[in-house]
């Protein structure tokens, strides 16, 4: 059963793709928020380990990965490596596979600080291809960028991204000097027996794409994309289904001064408000600690995404070091409670130690992925959880 | 001072029981100009060496953290009073990490195989003292100390006085070496063995022939 929704913010994290329009305003293209999404029932993996789990992942000609094959992924996967070695790209690639929706790409761009305002395109080929060029390894748009994974629910899931060989020429009649050859960009998802191809085309001064396909319940939290509006939506959804209490309990375990959380309309915005010990009013959580906001985002994402996958880039950001252990215990407990698989990157040895300690008795669920950039490409080394624990215990440098 | 993390950046690793062996072998390698080796023990939470139970922990840590392709591992174990079983116990540690490391069948044998990534890797177990006889590091060091003759009667008298029935050969040698260190280090008679090994006034030569079997093995071990 599927439910078509036309409320844009509902589809912040999961959803099919119907139409993405980048409307041209005179010489410039501007993203309009006229998107609609098809939300299928979220898959509930009931076989195997009882939760959806990515077991294998492959990337080819995608971003910094020339060719990457990762097997034997685990329940709790931690990604380490130097800055620029491909940690975020790895998480992003899994996210991009999660729905048949090129809009996810634009969202990923925003997490990297691109296009925070209106996206502006000049009416020329370079402007268009530059939007997508770096999806391809070394900007090689002549080859297909391919991502694929195998999970224990759908089986195989694949995404091909490629510029089609057939070129079209667009000649704006009002400004013929802007005529350029346009290479349509295709996103082709292959999920089980379902194949969906979405081609971004230039039509009437806009970039348009059409399609929809089964979404994958994946949630991505990057250091830049914590969204108060989206968190408020998740909070409301869990509250209405009487499932918010567990989230609040997790928050209070680490931030006991938070007496309660509720939705409040503040300055016309619906935000999460917190009652703080010793005060007699509620504050928007945005005015409180970054760690509290981060934990709320993570807890809401996990609780809203049962039998799904959560991707957290730079998980330690915002948390005080003394809370690392309790944060990690809470995240792992929530993932257990809601049958969620975790992929988290970190730069912090202290956080990694906390993760190792939290998973000390279940090393089979723990995997370390170390990224390294050398000779113009990123590689990922898979490190068994038990080895990582031994290394951390012995104060060895596991981050590369 | 900040506590830096250990980085494994050498292709060959020597894994020992304790800090005494670690410090001795580090200096032996420098003295004999044998490079490409990194020496260490499996450590517990308080950074103390775990003894012979920590060999596999060190191997796992290397597997998790190495920044280069590791070509070989040598475990250096004490014979204690049961050389064959000590060897067997040590060799088993190559299998514990489940990384495809080959398990040597006998001591002082270079065993080559493929690790789980299909790369060639070599392993070996060296037993101390050399000849699979009872003893350990102290046994080896006693035989390197020329000056001990100057104190032999005094040390013998002391050892006779503190003799306990059934004491192992290795413990006997520990008592002898401890007495020798106390005799030769008047400023600090309780000097730790690892400090004694690393001090400039150690009364033995790192080029002593007794240590040749170690140096020769390390030199010949490399792939």
Q: What residue spans define the domains of chain A?
A: 2-41+99-215
Closest residue of chain A to B40, computed from CA coordinates: A394
Say yes or no: B179 and B103 in one domain.
no
| Chain position carrying tokens 């999460």 | A272
Q: How far is A68 from chain B (nearest CA, A)?
A: 15
Q: pLDDT by residue (tens digit) across A58-82?
A: 999 999 999 999 999 999 999 999 9
Contact A394 B58 (CB under 8 A): yes
Whether residue B3 lies within 8 A of chain A, CB to CB, comes out as: yes
The H or E element that residue B128 is part of is: strand B120-128
- Same domain for B107 and B33, yes or no, is yes
Q: Which of 349-378 (A) contact B at CB < 8 A?
A: 349, 368
- B111 and B26 in a single domain? The answer is yes
Give chain A's mean pLDDT: 79
Regarding whether B44 and B19 lie in a shared domain, the answer is yes
Say if residue A16's pLDDT is above 60: no
Question: Within an 8 Å CB–CB cutoff, is residue B93 touching chain A?
Answer: no
- Residue A86: which region, alpha, beta or left (left: phi > 0; alpha: psi -120 to 50)? left
- The answer to whether position B180 is within a domain reads yes
DSSP of A233-294: HHHHHHHHTT--HHHHHHHHHH-TTEEEEEEEEETTEEEEEEEETT-SSEEEGGGS-HHHHH
State the complex-level ipTM. Answer: 0.85
Q: Percent of chain B, pLDDT > 70?
A: 99
B146 plus B180 within the same structural domain: yes
Q: Which two tokens stand for residue A377?
A: 């490409």
CATH code of the domain containing B107: 3.40.50
Please check the confidence at residue A47 and state whether its pLDDT lies above 60.
no
Among partner residues B43, B97, B99, which is closest to A394 by beta-carbon distance?
B43
Instruction: Decide if B166 is inside a domain.
Output: yes
pLDDT at A117: 55
Indicate if B72 and B147 belong to the same structural domain: no
Do residues B1 and B61 make contact, with C-beta atoms less than 8 angstroms apart? no
Q: Looking at the structure, do residues B180 and B159 belong to the same domain, yes or no? A: yes
Per-residue pLDDT for B59 more than 90?
yes
* CB-count exposure of residue A59 (10 Å: 0-12, 13-18, 19+): buried
| Structural domain boundaries enclosing B170 | 137-198
For residue A203, say if its preceding peptide bond is cis, omega within 30 degrees of 0.
no
The pLDDT of residue A12: 34
**Cβ contact, residue pair B97, A397, below 8 Å:** no
Asked if B57 and B105 sit in the same domain, the reply is: yes
Confidence (pLDDT) at A170: 55
- Chain A interface test: which of B38, B39, B65, B68 (most A C-beta within 10 Å): B65
Q: What is the per-residue pLDDT for A40?
A: 37
Spell out which residues of chain A touch residue B7, defining contact as CB-CB under 8 Å. Answer: 396-397
Residue B68 to chain A, least CA–CA distance (Å)? 10
Average pLDDT over residues B65-77: 95
B156, B52: one domain: no
Least trusted range by pLDDT, from A126-130, A327-331, B61-65, B164-168: A126-130
Number of domains in chain B: 2
Given an 8 Å threshold on Cβ–Cβ distance, is A394 in contact with B42? Answer: yes
With respect to residue B109, please indicate whether it lies within any of the assigned structural domains: yes
Range of weakest confidence among A34-43, A138-147, A161-170, B22-31: A34-43
Do A343 and A51 touch, CB atoms closer than 8 A? no
* A46 has pLDDT over 50: no
Chain B contact for A69, CB < 8 A?
no
Q: Are residues B124 and B144 in the same domain?
A: no
Whether B58 has its CB under 8 Å from any CB of chain A: the answer is yes
Q: Do residue B20 and residue B81 come from a single domain? A: yes
Do both B21 and B111 map to the same domain? yes
């Amino acid at each position: 059963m599927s439910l078509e929704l036309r409320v844009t913010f509902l589809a912040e994290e999961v959803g099919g793709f119907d139409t993405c329009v980048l409307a041209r305003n005179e010489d410039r293209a501007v993203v309009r928020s006229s998107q609609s999404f098809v939300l299928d029932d979220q898959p509930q993996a009931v076989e195997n380990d009882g939760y959806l789990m990515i077991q294998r992942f492959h990337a080819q000609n995608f971003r910094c990965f020339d060719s990457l094959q990762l097997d034997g992924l685990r329940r709790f996967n931690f990604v380490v490596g130097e800055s620029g070695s491909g940690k975020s790209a790895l998480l992003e690639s899994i996210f991009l596979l999660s729905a048949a929706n090129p809009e996810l790409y634009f969202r990923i761009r925003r997490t990297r600080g691109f296009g925070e305002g209106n996206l502006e395109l000049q009416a020329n080929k370079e402007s268009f291809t530059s939007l997508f060029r770096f999806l391809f390894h070394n900007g090689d748009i002549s080859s297909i960028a391919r991502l694929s994974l195998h999970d224990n629910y759908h089986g195989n899931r694949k995404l091909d991204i490629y510029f089609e060989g057939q070129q079209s020429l667009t000649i704006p009649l009002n400004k013929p000097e802007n005529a350029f050859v346009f290479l349509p960009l295709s996103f082709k998802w292959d999920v089980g027996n379902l194949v969906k191809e979405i081609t971004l085309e230039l039509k009437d001064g806009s970039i348009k794409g059409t399609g929809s396909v089964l979404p994958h319940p994946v949630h991505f939290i990057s250091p830049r994309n914590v969204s108060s509006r989206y968190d408020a939506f998740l909070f409301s959804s869990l509250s209405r289904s009487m499932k918010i209490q567990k989230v609040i309990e997790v928050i209070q375990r680490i931030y006991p001064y938070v007496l309660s959380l509720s939705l409040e309309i503040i300055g016309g915005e619906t935000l999460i408000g917190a009652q703080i010990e010793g005060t007699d009013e509620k504050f928007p959580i945005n005015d409180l600690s970054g760690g509290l906001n981060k934990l709320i985002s993570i807890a809401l994402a996990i609780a809203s995404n049962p039998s799904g996958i959560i991707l957290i880039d730079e998980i330690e950001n915002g948390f005080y070091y003394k809370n690392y252990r309790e944060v990690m215990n809470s995240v792992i407990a929530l993932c257990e409670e809601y049958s969620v698989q975790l992929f988290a990157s970190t730069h912090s040895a202290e956080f990694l130690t906390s993760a190792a300690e939290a998973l000390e008795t279940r090393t089979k669920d723990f995997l370390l992925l170390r990224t390294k950039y050398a000779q113009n490409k990123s590689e990922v080394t898979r490190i068994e959880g038990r080895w990582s624990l031994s290394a951390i215990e012995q104060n060895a440098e596991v981050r590369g | 001072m900040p506590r830096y993390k250990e980085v494994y950046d050498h292709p060959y690793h020597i894994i020992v029981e304790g800090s005494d062996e670690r410090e001795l072998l580090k200096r032996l390698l420098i003295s004999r100009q044998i490079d490409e080796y990194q020496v260490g023990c499996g450590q517990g939470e308080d950074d103390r060496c775990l003894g012979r139970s920590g060999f596999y922990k060190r191997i796992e840590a290397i597997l998790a953290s190495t920044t280069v392709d590791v070509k070989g591992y040598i475990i250096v174990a004490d014979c204690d009073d049961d050389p064959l079983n000590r060897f067997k116990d040590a060799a088993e540690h190559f299998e514990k990490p489940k990384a495809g490391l080959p398990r040597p069948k006998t001591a002082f044998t270079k065993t080559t195989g493929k690790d789980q990534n299909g790369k060639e890797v070599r392993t070996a177990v060296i037993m101390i003292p050399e000849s699979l006889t009872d003893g350990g590091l102290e046994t080896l060091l006693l035989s390197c100390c020329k000056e001990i003759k100057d104190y032999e009667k005094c040390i013998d008298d002391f050892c006779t006085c503190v003799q306990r029935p059934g004491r192992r050969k290795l413990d006997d040698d520990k008592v002898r070496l401890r007495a020798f260190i106390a005799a030769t280090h008047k400023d600090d008679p309780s000097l730790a063995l690892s400090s004694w090994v690393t001090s400039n006034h150690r009364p033995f030569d790192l080029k002593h022939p007794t240590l040749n079997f170690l140096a020769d093995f390390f030199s010949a071990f490399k792939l």
